[in-house]
Structure 1
C-alpha cells in the first residue's frame, strides 16, 4: 500500500497551486494524508476528487468552512497499522513522549504545522512523521512531502521528497 503525506499547503497564500511533482504522486497513492493548513476549500476538493482515499484534518489557519468538513484529529487503520493525523503537536522538545502519551495505541502519527520535516520514533514505538510543506519551505532549503509503503503490516520505505524552490509560486 502506497501512502502520500503532505501538510501546510496554504493555498493560494503561499503558492498558486500544488507542485506538479506532488500532483503526479496522487494516482500512485492508495491513501493520501493531509495534516492541515489547507487554507482553501479548492485544495480539499481537488484532493478528494483525485485521491482513492483521503485522510485529512484542519489546521490553525483553516477557517470555518474547512473546519466544518474536516476533523481536528483523524484515525485510520491501514493493513493492521493504526494511524492518527493531527496538525499541531507542540514544540520539538519532548514531542515523542508528549505524543505517545496523547495518542496511546497508535503506530504512526502524521502531523504538520512547523513546515519542517520530521521522522522519529517515540519510546514504545510510535512513529512520528511530518512531511514539511510542499508550498512554503520557511526556514528549510526546499519544499517537501513524504511517501511511504505499508508492507505486511509494517511501515517501510519512508522517503522525503524535495521539490524545486520555485514552481509556479512555491516559496
Structure 2
C-alpha cells in the first residue's frame, strides 16, 4: 500500500518563526510518515510533531542543543515500502555532494549503496538529485526560513513497492 511522506528540515522554531505554518500541520495530518532532517532548535516542536504525526523520523542538526541531541540521532535509517532511507542534517557543500554520499553510504561491497534515498537539510536550499551510484538525494528546504530562496518549502512524496514517486517541492507561506 502506498505510503505518503512529508519531508521537512530547518524549522528553526522559535528562532526563525514563532511556530510551524498551518500548511505544514495540514501536511503532517495528511502524511503516514514525517521525516525531519534537523535544526528543530526547540524541543517543543519535536514534542508537537511526535504527538501529531502518525510516524516521525528525525535527526538533530547543528543548531540543536543538548536536549534535542539526547533524544535524536545524528543519522537515522529506516525501511519503507521496499526502500532504504537515511536521514542526516549535514552533507557538506553542493559540489561533490553525490560522490561524498556514495562514499559515506557505500554498502556491503557489492557495488550497491546501502541507501536508496538520503534526506538532508542544513542549507535551506531544495535539492533533488541522484548520485552516480543511484542514491536519491532530497533536501526539502525550510518551511520557515527561505534564506536565498524565493519561498519557504517542504517536500511530499509517495513510497510504493520499491519506488519513490510524486516527489513534489511544496511552497509554504508563512
Structure 2-normalised TM-score?
0.93
2:167 to 144, 158, 161: 158
Over the aligned positions, Cα root-mean-square deviation in angstroms equals 0.6
Q: Does 1:131 align with 2:133?
A: no
> Whole-Å Cα distance in 2 between the matches of residues 163 and 10 of structure 1?
15
| Structure 2: runs of 5+ lacking an equivalent | 107-113
Residue deviations 1:123-167 (CA, integer Å, cap 9, x gap): 111000000000000011100000000122100000000112xx3
Unmatched segments (≥5 aa) in structure 1: none
Match 1:146 to one of 142, 146, 155: 155
SS at match of 1:120: strand
State the alpha-carbon separation in 1 of the partners of residues 147 and 133 from structure 2: 32
Deviation at 1:42, TM superposition (A): 0.4
1:107 aligns with 2:120: no
Measure how far apart 1:120 and its partner are: 0.1
Q: Distance in 2 between matches of 1:80 and 1:74?
A: 17
- 1:78 matched to 2:87: no
Q: 2:84 and 2:37 mapped to 1: Cα distance?
A: 16
Superposed CA offset, 1:85-131 (max 9, x none):
00000000000011111012100000000000000000111000000
Which residue of 54, 57, 63 maps to 1:55?
57
What is the aligned length? 165
Q: 4+ residue stretches of structure 1 with deviation over 3 A?
A: none
Q: CA deviation at 1:52?
A: 0.9
The secondary structure found in structure 2 opposite 1:22 is: helix
The equivalent residue for 2:29 is 27
Aligned to 2:129: 120
Question: Any idea what SS the aligned residue of 1:25 has?
Answer: helix
